[in-house]
Structure formats: structure tokens, C-alpha cells
Chains A and B, each alone.
Chain A
Amino acid sequence: MSQTVLDVRNLEAGYEPGVPIVRGASITVGKGEIVVVLGPNGAGKSTLIKAIAGLVPVTGGTVLLDGKDITAAPAHTMVRLGLAFVPQTENIFPLMSVEDNLKVACGILKPRETPARIEEMYAAFPDLARHRKTAAGNLSGGQRQMLAVARALIVHPKVLVLDEPSAGLSPKFVAMVFEMLAGIRISGVTILLVEQNAKAALAIGDRAYVLVEGKDRHEGVASELWNDPVVAELYLGQRRLDPERGRHSGKGSAA
């Protein structure tokens, strides 16, 4: 694996003291990689990346970005530190124009660099360029995700962190969003994403982790994980009680 950009070690986090949701999760993301975090509902996937982004109180462990400790840094300082986060829902300012949505995120850029950087985003996302003056709330679901991603990329982040970018989108837009992410990776951006849509995410990912009950339980190359019995096992947690599946689990761990 190439140089590590994001290094999360034994992270513990939760909304309330004494009720950890993330319980000692460790993941790494290498430069230029797309890393996917999978897991059953309630595994703490979203909480994990929100904790990384400074949005959920961290009670233990560390988050290193390019070797620098950014654990539990205030959320508004994260873009300056090099981490850009795209929330799952409500990830645009609905009453502001597309252009203002981009501009408002440029606070850490030099003012005279901003216009050129916005044009670069329009060049990368031509669909947004056609709607510069449109209120972001009037965009389609796919265009909103595009705007949210463009807004995150505009500050040249070292790592782009996305919380279920396909959530709530129609199949057509899901395909569009993953195509967009694959395209972004080609331009050299490092991506960490959490997804329910495992198949689509693994198709574009390099590596993946399976998170269960707040801990990373399995790790592997994305293209192989889809057929990995351990993943099916962990993902569909209740089957652990099934003795038939129990055998698979043993085999998978040994492999």
C-alpha cells in the first residue's frame, strides 16, 4: 500500500458519555485509494466517519491525517486540516444558489484564487455549470450530491469523506454518483466512504472494511470482498446463529 493519508487507531466515539457506538475501530486510507466501510445497520459506520470529521465526541483512540493528530479537532477546522466531509442528507444550502454554495466553502482559499477554483469545479461538473444561479434546493437528487461533492473538493482536501452518497437516490442517480466518485479518484483524490449499497461501492473501491458493533471486523481488497463468505456472515449479522453459516465463518477467518 502506498503512503498512508488517514490513519484511524482504536477510535472510540459516541453521542453520549458512557454509551460508545464506535468501539475501537482502526482503519487506514492510503494516498489515492478509495476505501469503503461496510457493515450492517447500526454498526456505527456513520458515527465512525462523523467522529473522524469532528462531529461526534471522541472518547478514545487517535485520528492522524498525513501524520498529524487531528483527533476531535473542532468540525469547522477540519477543511483547513485537509479533511472534507460530505454528510448523507441535507448536504447543501437549499436557499443559496449553486454558485454561492461553492463560494461559501472557499473560506480557506485565498480570495483571488476562488473564482478560478470555482471555474475548475464547473469544468469538472458541467451539470452544475448549467445551474449556477439556481437555488440548490431546486436541483435533482443526483445534482445535489454532485454539488455537495464539488463543494467538498473545492478546498483541495487530502481526503474526501462521504457518508452514504447513494442514500435516497433513484438507481439512475446511484450509478451517476459512483461514476462521479470513480472519476474523482482518477484525478488523485483520496476517498473514504461509508455505504449501504455494498455492491456499487465495492465496484469502485480499492479496499474495504466491515464494521460490526463499532469495531472493524474484517478487511480486504474490494473486488474480492463481494464474494467473501465472512462478509456475508458479518454483514447479515443474524446468520451467525445459523450453524450452517458458522462453518463458512471459520473457513473465511482461516483464509
Chain B
Amino acid sequence: MSLQFVVDGLLAGSMIGLGAIGVTLTYSILRFSNFAHGDFMAWGAYATLAVVGAIGAMFGKIAPIAPLSFGWPLIAAVVIGMAITGLLALLLDMVLFARLRAKGQAIIVVMASFGASMALRSLLEFIFSSRPTYFSRAIQIAMPVGFGIRITPDQIALLLLTAVLVLSVHLLMTRTQTGRSMQALSQNAALARIVGIDVAKVVRVTWIVGGALACVAGVMIGILIQIRPFMGFDMLLPMFAAAILGGIGSVPGAVLGGLIIGLAEAGAVQLIGAEWRAAVSFIILMTVLFVRPIGLFGVRER
């Protein structure tokens, strides 16, 4: 067998993991499963695509940064796209989730997120059509790196980007006052208020971080595969699997869960056939949950 599945798995795992961070934060801080999170990915990818187009219209054709397939317009566009996606998440919370949360029934919010997911997706199909599109149609030559593994410069750059983002979020959660406030809120919301934490502010930060990371994951999918309105929805199950596998509320857990699922899926494609891809990741998920129901990095609730 070839070890190529390692690279494929790490890449898929990075996309899943970045999305799963948002899922796990929303779940632990706002106490609901946000099924619209995948659609934040798709919106992030399309927003970035639109900004790339706008930059192209303003500055003309700009050569990619060799050896990558993209240049500074995409890098700038991702940053703007992250902001747009963060704001989209905030807006959705303001008009929908916050109002339903106030009524106090989690299941209503979960159902609403299903509806929001469909609405967001349809809106993308309406604006951009459901035809797949691409950031770049250039074909990159994969370089052999030994052990029968080939990797493209784009893939290396995106793996590095994932590592940097995951580390930043981890530091944000553990080393800053904002991160400690997020942890506090997820453990005891009433006490968090008593010690002076502005819950509304922490909730806003949570949405912005989750949305921004979803955007990056969406752009990764866009660069490595393609952009289509369903791209995020298709990531929903693996993302939730990763968040649960890693232990709800744990950022490192979500990323590790993503990598395990990504590697398992890629390995399954090579070893037992593509049709078993989803099955294998869920067998792993179920096995872990049987042995350790709180997930790899999870902690028992009080």
C-alpha cells in the first residue's frame, strides 16, 4: 500500500478539525448543536471568492506567489472572508438563535439551526448557482517527498496554516482573559456573570472565532477540491464526529478528532474501498464512545 493516504488524511482532517473547533465551542458555550456550521464554511468560501473577484477587478491580474497556486489577493480575501463569516454568524445569532435561546429550550435552537442551514445553502445556490467553481484552475504538480508520498506546495501551505490557527486558538483559550471567560462560561454560566464576565460579549467572540475558522476550512476545501453550495453541509457529519470524538468543549480534542477521522477515511478509501469511507470513521467514533463516552479530551460534567 502507499502512504499517500497520510497526506490526504491530514488535509481532510485539517478541514474537519477547523470546522469542529467551531462546533465544539458553540456546543460547550451556547449549549446547542449548530447544524448551520457547515454552511458557514460554504459562505466563507464564497465570500472569499467574491472578494478575490473584487480585488481582481480593482488591481487586474496578479501573478500567484510561486510555487503556490494563489497570490496575495487570495490571502487578503481570506482575512476579509473570515471577518464576513464571523459577522454572518453574529448576525444569525442576533436575529435567530439569541431570541430562541431566551425561551430556554435547546431543542428549538437546534431545529432552528437546521432551518438556518437550509436557508443559507439555498441563498448561496440562488446567488452563485449550484455549479461548482474554483479559486484557480491551475494544475499543481505534486512533489515526491519519499515513502511514495506526493504533496503539492498548496497542501504544505494549508497544513502549516492549520497548525498556526489551531495553536493560536489554543493559546487564546488557555492564556488570555477572553479564553478563560469562555471556559468559565461553558462550566457555569451563572457564576461567570457573578465574577463579572459579560456573557453577551463572550458569546460574540465565540461566534466570530467559530465563523472565522469555518471560513478558512471552506477556503481550504475550495483550494484543494472545489467550491459548491453543499460543500459545508457535506462536512457536517465528520465535523460533529470529530467534536464528539475529541470531547465536547476541547479545542485540541476537536482537532485531534478531525485528524483521526480524516486519516481513517483516507485509509479506508485505500484499504477497503471508497464506499466504506463514512462507515469507518463512524465505527471509530462509536468504539471510542463505548470505551470513553466523554471523548478523548472530554471532561465529565459536574
Interface residues of A (CB under 8 A from B): 53, 55, 74-80, 85, 87, 90-96, 100, 103-108, 111, 137, 151, 155
User: Chain A residues with Cβ under 8 A from B183's Cβ?
Assistant: 93, 95-96, 100, 104
Given A93-B183, A104-B184, check contact A151 B190 (CB 8 Å).
no
Tell me if A96 and B194 are in contact (CB < 8 A).
no
Q: For chain B residues 166-216, which have a beta carbon within 8 Å of chain A?
A: 177, 180-181, 183-184, 187-188, 190-199
Q: Which single member of A87, A108, A111 contacts B191 (CB below 8 Å)?
A: A87
B195 in contact with A151 (CB, 8 Å): yes
Could you say which of B187, B188, B196, B299 contacts A107, with CB atoms under 8 Å apart? B196
Does B184 contact A90, Cβ atoms closer than 8 Å?
no
Which residues of A sit under 8 angstroms from B299, Cβ to Cβ?
95
Q: Which chain B positions have C-beta within 8 A of A74?
A: 193
The answer to whether A80 and B196 touch across the interface, beta carbons within 8 angstroms, is yes
Asked if A91 and B196 make an inter-chain contact with CB atoms under 8 angstroms apart, the answer reads: no
Other-chain residue from B177, B184, B188, B194 in contact with A85 (beta carbon distance below 8 A): B194
B302 at the interface (CB under 8 A from A): yes
Chain B residues near A93 (CB-CB < 8 A): 183-184, 187-188, 191
A-B contact pairs, 13 of them (CB 8 A): A74-B193, A76-B192, A80-B196, A87-B190, A87-B191, A90-B302, A93-B183, A94-B302, A96-B183, A104-B181, A107-B177, A107-B181, A107-B197
Chain A residue contacts of B198, Cβ below 8 A = 76
**Does the CB pair A105–B196 fall under 8 Å?**
yes
Interfacial chain B residues near A87, Cβ < 8 Å = 190-191, 194
Q: Which of A75, A103, A111, A155 contacts B193 (CB 8 A)?
A: A75
Question: In the complex, A87→B193 CA distance in Å?
Answer: 12
Query: Nearest chain B CB to A154's CB is how many angstroms away?
Result: 9
Chain A residue with minimal CB distance to B183? Answer: A96
Contacts of A151 in B (CB 8 A): 195
How far is B194's CA from A136's CA once the two chains are assembled, in angstroms?
17
B194:A100 contact, CB within 8 angstroms: no
Known: A94-B302, A103-B180, A137-B302. A108 touches B196 (CB 8 A): yes
- Inter-chain CA distance A96–B191, complex, in Å, is 13
Q: Which residues of A contact B184 (CB under 8 A)?
A: 93, 96, 104
Residues of A within 8 A of B197 (CB): 76, 104, 107
* Shortest CB distance B9–A (Å): 31
Please, what's the 1-or-0 string for B27-56, where 1 marks a CB less than 8 Å from any CB in chain A?
Answer: 000000000000000000000000000000
Question: How far does the Cβ of A2 sit from chain B's closest Cβ, in whole Å?
Answer: 27
Residues in B neighbouring A91, C-beta threshold 8 A: 191
Q: Would you call A90 and B194 a contact (CB within 8 A)?
A: no
- Whether A78 lies near B187 (C-beta < 8 A) is no
Q: Decide: A79 near B187, CB < 8 A? Known: A94-B302, A104-B177, A104-B181.
A: no
Extra inter-chain contacts (14) besides given A76-B192, A78-B196, A79-B194, CB under 8 Å: A55-B190, A75-B193, A76-B198, A91-B191, A93-B187, A93-B188, A95-B187, A95-B299, A96-B183, A103-B180, A104-B184, A107-B196, A107-B197, A108-B196
B275 CB to nearest A CB, Å? 41
Which residue of A55, A90, A94, A105 is within 8 Å of B195 (Cβ)? A105
Residues of A near B195 (CB, < 8 A) are 79, 104-105, 107, 151
Partner of B177, one of A77, A90, A95, A103: A103
* Nearest neighbor of A96 in chain B, beta-carbon distance: B183
A107 to B181, CA, bound (A): 9
Tell me the nearest residue of chain B to A135, going by C-beta: B299
CB distance from A237 to the nearest CB of B (A): 30
Question: Judging by beta carbons under 8 Å apart, are B196 and A94 in contact?
Answer: no
Residues of B within 8 A of A79 (CB): 194-196
Q: Is A155's CB under 8 angstroms from B187's CB?
A: no
Please measure, in the bound complex, the distance between the C-alpha atom of A155 and the C-alpha atom of B197, giving whole angstroms.
13
The docked-state distance in angstroms from the alpha carbon of A247 to that of B190 is 45
